């Protein structure tokens, strides 16, 4: 890949965490000029993923401060490079978690660049030119067109934003495990947050029976009436857990905090599959007996490729799948972080970067 050294002359207003307090403050920085493969995007909305909190507070020990979080970005193309034919000025587009990959390895060649060894993320990454990447808590983004997707016209830009990470993260394990277009299966979703509520919507659109396994009894009514879940188990209730013993074909674990997998594995049928997408900072307890006695499989999954992200976005357009959101201003990000930590959000905060909603 040719190394380019674009100038970083574009001044951008954003919001960053400066240290592990995780407190978000206004932050001005520079982005590169629009290169031949780039599109420049006026950011309209950016979702707040729990991953943003993990990075802002250095939960995973890999944060490079200052960090400008945000990888659930929607906006309008305002400039395109000479090599870009996929997008034009005025297009509605989205950017998710990735900003670059090597484009040459087996993963990149088979459209699995999210598993490229050299994948770089939209923030807290190192771009091809050696610069640190800054995310969507900002008014403008320059992105390589190969890491940009189109947003279907019928999807509102605010409710589409979280699909760029939360959506594709729950969509891919369902696709990989043949849950699209398959016979009706019993699907479990652990954790009813940003990822979890979208998992219910996808699983219902694909015709499955969905059981939510949650720590929050208060979420039961809405999970069933508004999101369409068929069953709801409170994980701290041993009777409820026992009564659903060996009832599920597939479980998606979206929990952000540490938890033991044993009790959840018991909910799987023999040969059932358990996919972990939640990313607690500490190793999780994985007892051998529920695995051995049930011939069960545990595996992980990370976001999705750009091809899969576009496929997911188009399916959302077709089925009208979008996020349930609470819109905030950039000045409310710290308050939003506190509420996410208290598990007080249904189900995604989305930052109105361009002040669109106040103009409606």
Residue 219 touches which member of ligand NAP, Zn ion, none, C-beta under 5-8 Å by kind? ligand NAP
Closer Cβ to ligand NAP, 95 or 195, answer by number: 195
As measured in angstroms, the least distance from the Cβ of 180 to ligand NAP is 18
Tell me whether residue 105 or residue 257 sits nearer to ligand NAP (CB atom). 257
Residue 221 burial by Cβ neighbours in a 10 Å radius (0-12, 13-18, 19+): exposed
Could you tell me the two tokens for 326?
Answer: 């609470």
Binding residue (CB under 5 A) for Zn ion from 40, 51, 124, 309: 51
User: Using CB under 5 A, which residues numbered 158 to 177 contact Zn ion?
Assistant: 165
| # of chain residues touching Zn ion (CB under 5 A) | 3
Q: How far apart are CA 24 and CA 336, in angstroms?
A: 11
Binding site for ligand NAP (CB under 6 A): 49-51, 54, 165-166, 169, 191-196, 214-216, 219, 254-257, 259, 277-279, 301-303, 340, 343
* From the list ligand NAP, Zn ion, none, partner contacted by residue 286 (C-beta under 5 to 8 A by kind): none
- CA pair distance 188, 269, nearest whole angstrom: 11
Q: Which two tokens stand for residue 80?
A: 């395109």
Cα–Cα distance measured from residue 24 to residue 15, given in angstroms and rounded to the nearest whole number: 6
How many C-beta atoms surround the C-beta of residue 122 within 10 A? Answer: 27
Nearest CA-CA partner of 133 in 63, 49, 59, 44: 63
List CB contacts of 3: < 8 A, sequence separation 6 or more: 128, 129
Q: Kindly state the smallest distance separating residue 51's Cβ from Zn ion, in Å.
A: 4
Kindly state the smallest distance separating residue 360's Cβ from ligand NAP, in Å. Answer: 26
Helical H segments across the chain, by residue range = 50-56, 106-109, 157-160, 166-176, 194-205, 220-225, 238-243, 262-265, 288-292, 306-319, 333-341, 356-359
Residue 304 interaction partner, one of Zn ion, ligand NAP, none, beta carbon < 5-8 Å per kind: none
What residue number has its CB nearest to ligand NAP? 193
Smallest distance from the beta carbon of 123 to ligand NAP, in angstroms?
Answer: 13
> Is 49 a residue that touches Zn ion (CB under 5 A)?
yes
Give 84 or 351: the residue with its C-beta nearer to ligand NAP.
Answer: 351
Stretch that binds Zn ion, among 44-52, 226-234, 242-250, 346-354 (CB under 5 A): 44-52
CA distance 227 to 234: 17
Residues that bind Zn ion (CB under 5 A): 49, 51, 165
């Amino acid at each position: 890949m040719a190394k380019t050294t674009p100038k970083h002359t574009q001044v951008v207003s954003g919001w960053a965490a400066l240290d592990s307090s995780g407190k978000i403050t206004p932050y001005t920085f520079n982005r590169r000029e629009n290169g031949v493969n780039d599109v420049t995007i006026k950011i309209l909305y950016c979702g707040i993923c729990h991953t943003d909190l993990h990075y802002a507070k250095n939960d995973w020990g890999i944060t490079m401060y200052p960090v400008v979080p945000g990888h659930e970005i929607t906006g309008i193309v305002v400039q395109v490079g000479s090599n870009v034919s996929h997008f034009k000025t005025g297009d509605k587009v989205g950017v998710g978690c990735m900003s670059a990959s090597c484009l040459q390895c087996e993963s990149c060649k088979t459209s699995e660049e999210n598993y490229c060894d050299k994948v770089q993320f939209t923030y807290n990454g190192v771009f091809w030119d050696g610069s640190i990447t800054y995310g969507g808590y900002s008014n403008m983004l320059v992105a390589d067109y190969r890491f940009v997707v189109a947003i279907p016209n019928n999807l509102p830009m605010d409710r589409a934003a979280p699909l760029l990470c939360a959506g594709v993260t729950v969509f891919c394990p369902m696709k990989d495990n043949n849950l699209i277009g398959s016979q009706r299966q019993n699907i479990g979703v652990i954790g009813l947050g940003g990822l979890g509520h979208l998992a219910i919507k996808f699983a219902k659109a694909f015709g499955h029976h969905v059981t939510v396994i949650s720590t929050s009894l208060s979420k039961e009514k809405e999970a069933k009436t508004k999101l369409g879940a068929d069953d709801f188990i409170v994980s701290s209730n041993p009777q409820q857990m026992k009564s659903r013993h060996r009832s599920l074909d597939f479980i998606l674990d979206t929990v952000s905090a540490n938890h033991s997998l044993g009790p959840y594995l018991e909910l799987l049928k023999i040969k059932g599959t358990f996919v972990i997408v939640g990313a607690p900072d500490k190793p999780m307890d994985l007892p051998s007996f529920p695995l051995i006695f049930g011939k069960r499989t545990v595996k992980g999954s990370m976001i999705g490729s750009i091809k899969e992200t576009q496929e997911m976005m188009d399916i959302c357009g077709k089925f009208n799948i979008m996020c349930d959101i609470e819109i905030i201003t950039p000045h409310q990000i710290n308050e939003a972080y506190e509420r996410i930590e208290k598990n007080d959000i249904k189900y995604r905060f989305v930052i109105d970067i361009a002040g669109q909603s106040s103009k409606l």
